[in-house]
Amino acid sequence: MIAGTAPATDLLAPPRRWTVTPVIEIGVLAIAIAIAAGTYVVVAHTGRPEGLIAPGVVALLLVSNLVPGVALMMLFGRRIARRRAARSPVGGEGRLHVRLVALFSIVAAVPMVLVTIAASLLFQYGVQFWYSDRARGVFENATTLTRTSYNQILQRWQEATVTMASDIASELDQRPIEDPQFRAFLFQQTYFRSLSEALLFQVSPKGELQTLAFVNPYDLDLARQVSAEAVGALREGQQSKVTVTGDRIQTVARLPGSSRIFLYAARVTNPKEMTTQTERAEAALANYRALLVRARTLQLRFNAALLLLSLLIVGVAVWIALAVADRLVRPVAELVDAARRVEGGDLAARVQETRDRDEVGTLSNAFNRMTERLEEQNHALVTANAQLDNRRALIEAVMSGVSAGVVSIAPDRTIRLINSSAQMLLGLADPPIGRPLASIAPELERLLDGTAREAIIQLTAAGEARTLAVRIARDGTGPILTFDDITQQLLDQRRAAWSDVARRIAHEIKNPLTPIQLAAERLQRRYGGKVEEGDTTFSRLTETIVRQVGDLRRMVDEFSSFARMPKPVFREESLVDVARQTMFLHEVAHAAIRFEIRHDEPGPMLVCDRRQIGQALTNIVKNAVEAIEATGRNEGAIVMEVLEEDHRAIITVADDGVGLPPERDRIVEPYMTTRARGTGLGLAIVKKIVEEHFGTISFADRPVGGTLVTMTFDTMMLAGVTGRDHDSNDGDGGGIAALTRNRTA
């Protein structure tokens, strides 16, 4: 490598682009907030509150707030553009959207900032004159002039009245009021001074007004024109009092040298017009002063309106930029979407053809022709595979519909195909495709080593022993195993065989038992007294014969009960009563054992055959007693619990005996017993009774030692067979028929 030359990878690497991060956005937002706060401080502490701020300062504040606001608008538009790009088929970072937003924003923002500054300055300099001291002086001088003119008019008529009062006082010194010449003098004074009316009156000590002389061309009640307020002011020492009432300027003056005689004079004029002009001048001045107080507010509002209008225009520009970007990117997005659909296997994907002769239109037409050719070529492959798919679907449908298990094995003895029946029979939750057969069912895998086509095997699936009849078909692709579950079939055959054996044994043995017993009893009665005293051989032998015959008779009865169970008669019974009777019989016979019943109040009711349920409980408790006696202890405990939950009646019998035998899986089979004198039919009869009542029975070891037997009955099912015999009419049993009807309902 030549010294000073950049590595090739650096030369080929794309240049790094300046990117906008959320930190920058937050920084711009913080700057905008800081400038807004600074603007508030400047506005609040600059100049007088009622004066204008310098136009240059306001324009600077306006630009300072406008620039970060425009920047925030652009960043917001950029974020929207990136989100739209992410939702579009093109994806990516939306750089085209961002560039268009930036371009339109700059084009709109730069002239807008300049126009905003010019408009702000023009407006402020234009209105600055109206808020100057010169304009304020003009308004104040005009108002003062109007007020002075008004006061001068009132003063003129007040002075005329005071002068007239002085002249009247001089005249009264020369002649009395009753003199006719005095009345002429009063009229002349009123006329010469251009007054409309006059009244000379005095006020009595009681405050009553007494008319002395008057000039009244308008025939008014002049005494009512004199206000008590004016008289009170004169009596307190004031020389005269002028008031404006209606269309008259009224003046009341005190005659010089007298404290009780007063002169009232009035001038009819239009004082309302003068008052209105004065009020208008005052109102104009007040409005101007209010406008001065609001000058800064109006200035700030105008500039705030300019700021909002500018930001609105920039926002509209950003929105237009987004719309234009969407329109420009849409054809590219359609091409990308169609390409991805083709990538996903949709060869019918097309883009909208356009008449434009630009590059995008040419690319769209070429893309449509390409996908059309691909679709034609793919159609042939699809047609060829359709037949294979139909055949495979037919095989799968047949396999899923048959009750027998079917497993197809690959040459390496892994499972290639398995149906749902095979999964159920083998106790598998998920299809074991690809797994070795030896890890699923070693018994089936060993059959593949031989040449036999059929076999019967036993295996354990999901904790349950099953017997399967297996058939093996071999072809070039690997063996196919088909098998059926014959466990129940074998069990039914075995029970039927044992029932037949029991009937035969009962028939063959029961007939000679009665003669043997009668003969032995007859020998005891006839020859018992003839035997020499002390010789007990004869009696012992005859008693042995009678006892053994009784044992044989009981055995034959058990054989008969197993071979031909009576029909159960279903009625609603109290399980607690049945359990109490059972426990009472054994409690009397075995005083050393503690018997306990636990149940809820009042206890569950069950539709059942009371005699058969009692027989089943008796056999279970009898086995529990024998299990306790087998321990060699003289005492023990048997606890029976009767309860009901979720429409199920549950009976549990727990003992602390020797526990279950090793052959626990076969203890309910006929003639299976671990006791020397047992027949092996007790639990078989119990299981048959429980099944006749649509229930289940289970056996388990107690953690503290002993056995726990649990019988569970469905109360809802049994409720539908009330009062019916289990094996009536159609041979399938009235109870089963009722159960079927109950389920259908």
| 437 vs 449: CA distance, rounded Å | 13
pLDDT digits (tens, 9 = 90+) for 574-583: 999 999 888 8
Q: How far apart are the first and last CA of the chain?
A: 91
Convert 388-403 to b/e letters by CB count within 10 Å (16 or more is b). eeeeeeeeeeebeeee
User: So what's the pLDDT on residue 742?
Assistant: 38
Identical fold between 404-564 and 567-720: no
Report helix, strand or coil for 532. coil
In the predicted structure, residue 647 carries a pLDDT above the cut 60 = yes
Order of strands across the sheet with 240-245?
A: 209-215, 197-203, 261-268, 248-254, 240-245
The dotted CATH code for 153-280 is 3.30.450
| 651 vs 620: CA distance, rounded Å | 11
| CATH of region 404-564, choose from 3.40.140.10, 3.30.450.20, 3.20.20.70, 3.40.250.10 | 3.30.450.20
Q: Under a CB-based contact definition with an 8 Å cutoff, are residues 720 and 739 in contact?
A: yes
pLDDT digits (tens, 9 = 90+) for 605-619: 999 988 888 888 988
User: So what's the pLDDT on residue 139?
Assistant: 60
Q: Which helix (H) or strand (E) holds 99?
A: helix 95-128
Q: Under a CB-based contact definition with an 8 Å cutoff, are residues 431 and 418 in contact?
A: yes
In the predicted structure, residue 515 carries a pLDDT above the cut 80 = no
Burial of 611 per CB tally in 10 Å (0-12, 13-18, 19+): middle
| 116 vs 2: CA distance, rounded Å | 58
N residues, the chain: 745
User: So what's the pLDDT on residue 641?
Assistant: 94
Average pLDDT over residues 499-526: 70
Most confident of 9-13, 292-296, 597-601: 597-601
Q: Which helix (H) or strand (E) holds 571?
A: strand 571-574
In the predicted structure, residue 680 carries a pLDDT above the cut 50 = yes
Least reliable range by pLDDT among 35-39, 363-367, 502-506, 568-572: 502-506
Q: Under a CB-based contact definition with an 8 Å cutoff, are residues 58 and 303 in contact?
A: yes
CATH superfamily of this structure's domain 567-720: Histidine kinase-like ATPase, C-terminal domain (3.30.565.10)
In the predicted structure, residue 421 carries a pLDDT above the cut 70 = yes
pLDDT digits (tens, 9 = 90+) for 25-73: 888 888 888 888 888 787 777 766 556 677 777 778 888 888 888 888 8
| 690 vs 708: CA distance, rounded Å | 16
Q: Under a CB-based contact definition with an 8 Å cutoff, are residues 223 and 201 in contact?
A: yes
Least reliable range by pLDDT among 73-87, 94-108, 176-190, 548-562: 548-562
- Looking at residue 205, the DSSP 8-state letter turns out to be T
Most confident of 56-60, 177-181, 278-282: 177-181
Average pLDDT over residues 94-119: 77
pTM for this predicted structure: 0.34
Phi, psi angles (nearest 5°) of residue 652: -120, 140
Average pLDDT over residues 271-299: 61
| Residue 57, CA atoms < 13 Å, CB-side half-sphere | 16
Q: Under a CB-based contact definition with an 8 Å cutoff, are residues 455 and 470 in contact?
A: yes
Centre a 10 Å sphere on the Cβ of residue 370 and count the other Cβ atoms it contains.
13
Phi, psi angles (nearest 5°) of residue 265: -140, 150
Least reliable range by pLDDT among 139-148, 237-246, 326-335: 139-148
pLDDT digits (tens, 9 = 90+) for 691-741: 888 899 899 988 888 999 999 998 888 887 764 444 433 333 444 333 333
Give the torsion through C-alpha atoms of 132, 135, 137, 140, to 10 deg.
-120
Delimit the domains of the chain by residue range: 20-133+290-338, 153-280, 350-401, 404-564, 567-720
Report helix, strand or coil for 669. coil
Q: 253 forms bridges with which residues in the sheet?
A: 240, 263
